[in-house]
Structure 1
């Protein structure tokens, strides 16, 4: 099964030698699940020919806001709607969660309560899962027909299911402790308030349920194929 990765941002340059870019992190998260991957760097205006260029789609995180005025966001929203119409499986992570919601009629904002950073406990489909958060933006209105299946303190729409084939999550199951530390070292200063960064650093050794979420994501693709 071919998964098209719609890459909506780039990892910090200084972290690339150790972790690879966001598409590599997503592929590594799903390693061993039997998928092949092709990346389309939509953030750099590289788009597939259409929704049937892959059997399923995975939208990455990004430093950009879904509501920002970038030339690649409107065609990405059009592609999301085309994938939805074609009834193909699609998964969104963080920015991916947000842009799917926005493209299908939901609302995304820079949340007035500020950043969520570090290991966070979520309730996803009735199961407690600890996953790494790194976001200020949030979905505050789900699209019509969406089922809200995930929540956390301060994040009321942390995961959604739209129909049988669209699954979105706000946290980052592709982020491990080393990458989180790199973000705290290189992207947080001057952006994330110091108390939040310090708290996230204290939680770097916390066990995260990345593998469990990776299995859920893989199941969405397999069941939707």
Structure 2
């Protein structure tokens, strides 16, 4: 289902299953996109065998963001933009995310999306005082993750891919911190019942992560970081990758609850 087709439906909330929306707020580097596709392709592939139709919407180009009742859930992509710059499209998307959270519509914000979700609900996003975190890093769950619908049975520590200069510096009131590490205190959080932010990239595989390290090699060297050593430490992140499929299942359950007796 395309954004144009969605616009032709008068009451999309009556359609079952309702689409899962990928909100595209950025794109990867040209050389990587030519070889591997872009954020939306990686996220869609990570969803696995979901029964939900997937629609990609880009508010930067003027796509209309649907009403909460019209979708089963939303995944908000990363971006090379910065939440703290408060671009009009970013602020408008943040206001829409607040509506989704209020309506209990499942949300998963990734990297920029994670920071935007925190900002939109009253937290703060900005430059991390330690600079850039990039590569394959270990993430540690908090005790609160044991009861979380998305993360409840993950191992207490697992590897994940990261690349970011900004962070969710302060979480919104009522948010539950779910994961962190020595560099980034908030690698994951939940706000409300069905909204999550993850600073790491569950949609990245090792090849994509190496592509980011290679592309950013010069600025990394300028900061005294050895990109070759980072590249050598890139590893598989199968546990982190599972989160996309888990989120798709949560969105399926949310859609099914809106249409009991229908499949």
TM-score (norm. length: structure 1) = 0.91
| Separation of aligned partners in 2, 1:13 and 1:45 | 22
Larger radius of gyration, structure 1 or 2? 2
SS of residue in 2 equivalent to 1:156: coil
CA displacement at 1:30 relative to structure 2: 0.8
| Separation of aligned partners in 1, 2:121 and 2:225 | 35
**Which ranges of structure 1 fall in alignment gaps of 5 or more residues?**
none
Moved over 3 A (4+): 191-194, 222-225
The alignment status of 1:155 with 2:184, answered yes or no, reads: yes
TM-score (norm. length: structure 2) = 0.79
Aligned mate of 2:120, from 103, 106, 117:
103
Moved more, 59-68 or 186-195: 186-195
Distance 1:191 1:207, change over 3 A: closer
Distance 1:15 1:6, change over 3 A: same
Structure 1 vs Structure 2 CA RMSD: 1.9
Distance 1:34 1:215, change over 3 A: same
CA displacement at 1:20 relative to structure 2: 1.2
**Cα deviations by residue, 1:47-99 (Å, 9 ceiling, x for unpaired):** 32433332111100111111113221121111111111222111111111100
**Which ranges of structure 2 fall in alignment gaps of 5 or more residues?**
1-16, 147-155, 256-263
| Separation of aligned partners in 2, 1:216 and 1:188 | 33
Q: Is the 8 A contact 2:104 2:192 kept in 1?
A: no
- Counterpart in 1 of 2:160? 131
- Counterpart in 2 of 1:121? 138
SS of residue in 1 equivalent to 2:88: coil
Moved more, 46-55 or 127-136: 46-55
Distance 1:37 1:188, change over 3 A: farther
| Separation of aligned partners in 2, 1:84 and 1:96 | 14
Aligned mate of 1:90, from 107, 112, 118:
107
**Cα deviations by residue, 1:147-175 (Å, 9 ceiling, x for unpaired):** 00111111111111112211111100101
SS of residue in 1 equivalent to 2:177: strand
| Separation of aligned partners in 2, 1:172 and 1:74 | 22
**Cα deviations by residue, 1:107-142 (Å, 9 ceiling, x for unpaired):** 111011111111111113262121101111111211
Aligned mate of 1:15, from 17, 32, 52:
32
How many residues are paired up?
Answer: 224
